[in-house]
Amino acid sequence: MSENGISNYYEYLPQSSQAQQIVILLHGLGSNGQDLISLAPMWAQYLPEAVFVSPDAPFACDMAPPGWEGSYQWYSLQDRDPQVLLRGVRVVAPLVEKFIDEQLARFDLPPEKLALVGFSQGTMTSLYVAPRLKRAIAGVLGYSGSLPWDEALKVEVRHKVPIHLIHGQADDVVPVAAWGHAKEILEREGFPFSGHTTPGLFHNIDGTGIASGGAFLQKVLNS
């Protein structure tokens, strides 16, 4: 692990121009940055001038079998108590923020030209980090995740960025009720909210979700 906690990442660069937007992709528990970067060519159809950056989470997955390589986590899910999970995401949040700042500096772009995309635990991390950044980013696109929330956390919110959440109705890892819970809180707190649930979809991203997410990214990063 490097001093900023994030030592490895994968990227997909625009073919014929200097990057005009940045999309940072945060993978799910037990995966790695190669997982979501594979979707970048599809989203690049909506954002041909964007660079997509997909880091490995900074910690080895503590639920992976012994000797299993290339399996990372943003924080532990061994204990699912909400307060324990909040403590975990608080630990990783500064590491993600530093990585965001480094990517903005690397491509000489302002924060309003950056969006976060998360899957599962990556969604949870993105939803925690984005509203608390020093400078507002363009928005958050999240798949199959949940919203880390406690009423006391409201005072930490600095920016009510646009959020687009997509969730499978047949998700057997993060139940679809998490989508409704997030929608209720985010709309109540004044976040611009959009998204949908997909009948029959499990813990995954399908073509409809990619298209919906691409349209959202195109809107918030070109506004």
Residues known to be catalytic: 120, 171, 203
109: helix, strand or coil: coil
Q: CB of 183 within 8 A of CB of 165?
A: yes
DSSP 9-26: EEEE--SSS---EEEEEE
| E-strand stretches of 72-199 | 72-73, 114-119, 139-143, 163-168, 193-198
Class of residue 160 by CB neighbours under 10 A (exposed 0-12, middle 13-18, buried 19+): middle
Sign (positive/negative) of CA torsion 218, 192, 210, 97?
Answer: positive
